[in-house]
Structures are given as C-alpha cells and as structure tokens.
C-alpha cells in the first residue's frame, strides 16, 4: 500500500512543542523576532549580578529572573521584545544550544502556529497589547555526537521555562498577566451563555441549527435537561489556548461524545464543527479530532483531522471506514485524502484504525452547573 503522509506531517508540525538537531540558521530566535532595535549577548559566567535570587534579564517590555543555581550554565540573547536562553556548553561547542525563547509579540501576530505556546498577555504603558509566547527549537540543539540524550544541565535549563515566564514582570510601565487569554473559562463565556439561553427558552431542533448549534442538544434537553449537556475546555492544537467542546453527559453508550467544537480566531470564538448523533466528534491522545460517522447499516467510519492554530479550519489526516455498500466481501477502506479511498485487507484496516482509538477523556462539566 502506498504511504501517503504529507498532511500528517503538516499536522505534526502544528502540534510540535519540543526541541529536536542542530539548527544552523537560528530562525526561532532571530527571524521570528522581527527587526530588533537592539541586541546584546549576556552571559552569567563571572557575572556579579547573579545573586541568590538569580540574574535579572530585561528588555524594553519585560524582565525575567533566572535561577541562581544555573549561573554559568546559560547565555541569554536579549532583544527588544524577546529574550532567548542558550545552553552555554552546547553553544561553545559550535551548536545552537537554544533552550527556549520568551517573546512578547504584537497582537494580532503576523502568523500563528509553529513551536510557540501562548503564556499570557502584556500591555505597555501606551495601552498597546502583546501576546507572550514561549517558544522552543524544532531540532536538537546540544552536542548530539557527545550526548545521546539531552545533557543534564541543558535539561535543567530547559525545565525552567514555565516558572521563568510565570514570574516575569513588565517594565517601563508595562503590565503582564500570566495565562491571560488562554483559559476556556475566560474565553467562551458568551458561547456557554448561548446554550443556557437555548435551554431556558426551550429551543427546538430547528432553532439550534439556525444558530449554528447541533440539533442533538434539543434531544438531550428533552431527556436529561441541562445536566445532560457537557462543557469542556481543552487545548487541542497545542498553541496554549483552550478550545471549547460541547457534548453529552447522558448516561448511555454515547456519553462523552462531542457535537459542537469552538476555537479562538483573532481573539474571538469561532465554530469549528457541529454534528449529530450519527456524526459526532472525539479528541484522541495526539490532540487530533476524530469524526465518527454512520451512513447506514452497512457503512460507518472515522475521519481524523488536525485543527490549525487561530483557524476554524481542520486539516484532513486520514480516514478509515467499513463500507459493505461498495464491497460486501472486503468492506475495509483507508484514505489519506478526503476524496480517495483505498480498499485494503482487514489487518491493514485494523492497524490504521488503531492509531485513532485512544480517546482523551475530556473533563466535561454539566451546563446546569454554570
């Protein structure tokens, strides 16, 4: 069977959040930072400023404090809106040594995606807003010829990223709020309120559909009320910003199924997909979205998608289906493009389908509890 992996590789890039090989052009720390007005390299080697509380590094927007125990382990490149931390030993050995970068980029950013995770928002003294993201290299940054695994002190530096950004502060009148603009509770209040209104006003199935909501919630409301409608937040595309999933808490075989999906696009909630009982969604362990569907007694399948950051569009990855309408004797099919299906053996079918069977158990909260 011919292997078709192009779209899967695209999704893997979107979901990437760890570092990986020698990145000679250093694109993460320089090109994506834009035209920096000033740049200087600071090192903690023989640095008298690294006291017990650690060295303070500042640019025109924010300052961070590095752990004192890492003195001599790292170097820092400070730009106007960005601070990048390097593993000194790796850098001295001729490798990039990048551990992570903290970047306050203007909102809305010129691009989304890549190895950047939103960690909060910053507002400068003039009221201009910035999105603070934590970025990682996409290739191995240390001396991989000497070390088969990440060196111990590189790992220690790498693991400081979350605490360092959580404790950063604004400078020159700027203010920083850690995790602002990332949590579903703060982003989708109006959307959740719409489901509450629909339930309180007793909307019928047609009105749910007219408002871009699954008609399945009418059926749920009739049998289980607002306690049967589940609300969950989960960062599917791994960009640091939660998506909203609305599903069922009815105690039957479909419990946990998702019927409506929302994401944030340019700072506003946007509908990604809406389904029905025979066309429902799940999140599986790799962060992708699985659409389970049934087209009749002899056809059912799973379509796997990757949600793109800052977009309501989903990129198709692969699909599996049992279709006895097309081939009753060998009803197993696989696809890597939405319009082309390949008839395969049962073993090939099972191997491919197994990749999307490990569903994530979302922490649904009943609409009645909001």
pLDDT 10s digits, 228-244: 999 999 999 999 999 99
Burial label, 5 (beta-carbon count in 10 A; 0-12, 13-18, 19+): exposed
Query: What is the mean pLDDT of the segment spanning 134-142?
Result: 94
User: Could you give the CA distance from residue 281 to residue 228 in angstroms, rounded to a whole number?
Assistant: 17
Contact 133, 121 (CB under 8 A): no
User: ω before 231 within 30° of 0 (cis)?
Assistant: no
User: What is the predicted pLDDT for the residue at 109?
Assistant: 80
Position 112 confidence tier, pLDDT thresholds 50, 70, 90: confident
Q: Burial-class residue 354 by CB neighbours within 10 Å (0-12, 13-18, 19+).
A: exposed
pLDDT at 172 over 70: yes
Mean pLDDT estimate for the chain: 87
Tokens 């001599």, residue?
72
Distance CA 234, CA 246 (A): 11
CA-based max dimension of the chain:
77
- Number of helices followed by number of strands (H, E) in the chain: 9, 21
Instruction: Give the integer Cα–Cα distance in Å for 189 and 169.
Output: 28
pLDDT at 21: 34
Q: Which residues, in sequence order, are CB contacts of 188 under 8 Å at separation 6+?
A: 233, 242, 244, 262, 269
pLDDT category at 26 given cuts 50, 70, 90 is very low
Indicate the domain borders of the chain.
6-178, 184-369
Helix residue ranges per DSSP H, 167-278: 184-187, 189-200, 205-210, 216-224
- For residue 110, what pLDDT band results from cuts at 50, 70 and 90? confident
pLDDT attached to residue 28: 36
**pLDDT value at 275 more than 50:** yes
3-state secondary structure of 113: coil
Question: Between residues 4 and 302, which one has the greater pLDDT?
Answer: 302
Half-sphere exposure for 194 (CA within 13 Å, toward CB) = 17
For 199-216, letters b (16+ CB in 10 Å) and e give: beeebebeebeeeebbbb
Residue closest to 250 by CA, chosen among 364, 369, 131: 364
CB-based contacts of 325, cutoff 8 Å, min separation 6: 296, 298, 299
Give CA–CA dist 271/294, Å, rounded. Answer: 22
Distance, in Å, from the CA atom of 270 to the CA atom of 290, rounded to the nearest integer, reads: 19
Round to whole Å and give the CA distance between 359 and 349: 18
Non-local (6+) Cβ contacts of 261 within 8 A are 243, 244, 245, 246, 271, 272, 273, 274, 281, 289
CA 132 to chain centre: 15
More confident residue, 356 or 91: 91
Distance from chain centroid for Cα 5: 21
Between these two residues, 213 and 51, which has the higher pLDDT value? Answer: 213
| pLDDT, average across residues 275-287 | 90
- Are the C-beta atoms of 49 and 56 separated by less than 8 Å? yes
- Write out the two tokens for 157: 């530096």
DSSP 8-state assignment for residue 237: S
Average pLDDT value for residue range 76-89: 97
User: How far is C-alpha 345 from the chain's CA centre?
Assistant: 34
| SS3 assignment, position 58 | strand
Q: Are 313 and 291 in contact (CB under 8 A)?
A: no
The confidence band for 2, taking pLDDT boundaries of 50, 70 and 90, is very low
Q: How far apart are CA 42 and CA 44, in angstroms?
A: 7
């Amino acid at each position: 069977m011919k292997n078709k992996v192009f779209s899967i590789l695209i999704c893997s890039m979107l979901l990437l959040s760890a570092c990986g090989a020698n990145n000679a052009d250093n694109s993460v720390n320089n090109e994506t930072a834009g035209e920096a007005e000033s740049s200087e390299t600071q090192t903690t080697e023989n640095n008298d400023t690294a006291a017990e509380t650690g060295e303070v590094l500042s640019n025109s927007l924010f300052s961070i404090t590095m752990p004192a125990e890492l003195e001599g382990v790292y170097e820092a490149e400070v730009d106007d809106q960005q601070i990048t931390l390097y593993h000194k030993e790796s850098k001295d050995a001729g490798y990039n040594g990048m551990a992570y970068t903290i970047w306050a980029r203007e909102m809305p950013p010129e691009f989304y995606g890549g190895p950047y995770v939103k960690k909060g928002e910053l507002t400068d003294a003039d009221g201009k807003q910035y999105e603070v993201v934590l970025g990682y290299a996409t290739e191995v940054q240390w001396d991989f010829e000497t070390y088969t695994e990440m060196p111990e002190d590189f790992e220690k530096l790498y693991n400081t990223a979350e605490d360092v950004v959580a404790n950063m502060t604004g400078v020159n009148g700027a203010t920083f709020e850690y995790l602002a603009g990332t949590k579903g509770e703060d982003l989708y209040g109006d959307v959740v309120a719409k489901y509450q209104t629909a339930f309180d006003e007793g909307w019928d199935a047609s009105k749910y559909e007219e408002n871009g909501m699954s008609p399945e919630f009418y059926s749920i409301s009739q049998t289980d009320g607002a306690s049967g409608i589940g609300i969950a937040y989960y960062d599917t595309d791994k960009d640091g910003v939660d998506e909203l999933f609305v599903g069922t808490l009815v105690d039957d075989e479909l419990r946990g199924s998702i019927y409506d999906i929302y994401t944030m696009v340019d700072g506003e909630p946007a509908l990604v997909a809406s389904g029905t009982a025979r066309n429902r969604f799940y999140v599986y362990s790799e962060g992708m979205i699985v659409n389970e569907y049934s087209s009749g007694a002899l056809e059912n399948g799973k379509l796997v998608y990757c949600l793109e950051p800052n977009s309501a569009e989903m990129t198709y990855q692969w699909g599996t289906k049992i279709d006895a309408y097309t081939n009753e004797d060998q009803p197993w099919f696989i696809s890597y493009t939405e319009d082309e299906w390949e008839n395969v053996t049962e073993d090939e079918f099972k191997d491919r389908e197994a990749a999307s069977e490990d569903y994530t158990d979302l922490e649904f909260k009943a609409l009645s509890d909001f």
